[in-house]
Amino acid sequence: MAPAGHQLDPRLVNRFLAFLADEAKQWIDKSISINDKVAKSHVLKGRILMEQGRLEKARDSLMTAVEIEFKERDRARPRGIRSEQRRLG
């Protein structure tokens, strides 16, 4: 918090926030390079890219997250159906 009577220069604040976003994106990119099947990583990357105004790349990241989520749900569904059939069988 700035001392009484002093205000933070909005340009400096914006530069600091942009730096944080760039650093966060680097960590997310590293996380994705280790395991690109984690939807939440792609969502976070998409949110950072939106904040940076890079909307097309943000959309791509968010669509990747959606695809991963649907694949995971489709993979889990047959197991649930099989266990339910055994239970009722």
pLDDT digits (tens, 9 = 90+) for 3-62: 555 677 778 777 777 888 888 999 999 999 999 999 999 999 999 999 889 999 999 999
Measured between its terminal Cα atoms, the distance across the chain in Å is 65
2 φ/ψ sector (left φ>0, alpha ψ -120 to 50, else beta): beta
Residue 49 lies in a domain: yes
pTM of the model: 0.68
Residue 8 lies in a domain: no
Higher pLDDT, 77 or 1: 77
Q: How confident is the model at residue 89 (pLDDT cuts 50, 70, 90)?
A: low
The pLDDT value recorded for residue 16 is 77
Residue 77 lies in a domain: yes
Residue 1 lies in a domain: no
The span from the CA of 82 to the CA of 40, in Å, is 28
The span from the CA of 3 to the CA of 36, in Å, is 44
What count of other Cβ atoms lies within 10 Å of the Cβ of residue 41?
22
The pLDDT value recorded for residue 71 is 84
CATH number of domain containing 80: 1.25.40.10
pLDDT reading at 67 higher than 90:
yes
Number of domain units in the chain: 1
Residue 26 lies in a domain: yes
Residue 7 lies in a domain: no
Angle between helices 39-51 and 55-88 (to 10 degrees): 160
Single-letter amino acid, residue 38 = V
